[in-house]
Homo-oligomer: A and B are copies of this chain.
Amino acid sequence: MPTAAKEKKGKLILDVAIKLFTSKGYAATKMEDVAKEANISKGLTYFYFKNKEDLYMALTKKAFDELKSIFKEIYKVKGKAGLQMITELAYSYLDFTQNHRIYNEAILNFMGLVKQYNDEELKKEIDPQILKSDHFQKLLEIHHDCGKIGIQMVTIGLRDGSIRPELQAEVTFYTVWSMLIGYERLMGPVGYEGKEVKIHLENWKPGFIKLLQDMLKGTIQASKPQAVQASLF
Contact = CB atoms under 8 A, between A and B. Distances in A.
Interface of A: 23-25, 27-28, 101, 105, 108, 111-118, 122, 125, 127, 143-144, 147-148, 151, 164, 167-168, 170-172, 174-175, 177-183, 185-192, 194, 196-199, 203-204, 207-208, 211-212, 214-215
Contacts of A117: 188
A144 B167 CA distance: 34
Say whether chain A's binding surface is mostly helix, strand, loop, or mixed: helix
B175 A178 contact: no
Given A108-B108, A177-B186, A211 B167 contact: yes
Given A25-B125, A182-B180, A114 B175 contact: no
A167 B207 CA distance: 8
A190 B127 CA distance: 22
B197 A151 contact: yes
Given A115-B187, A178-B186, A181-B182, 11 more contacts: A27-B27, A114-B189, A115-B191, A118-B188, A118-B192, A144-B189, A144-B194, A171-B199, A175-B204, A175-B211, A214-B215
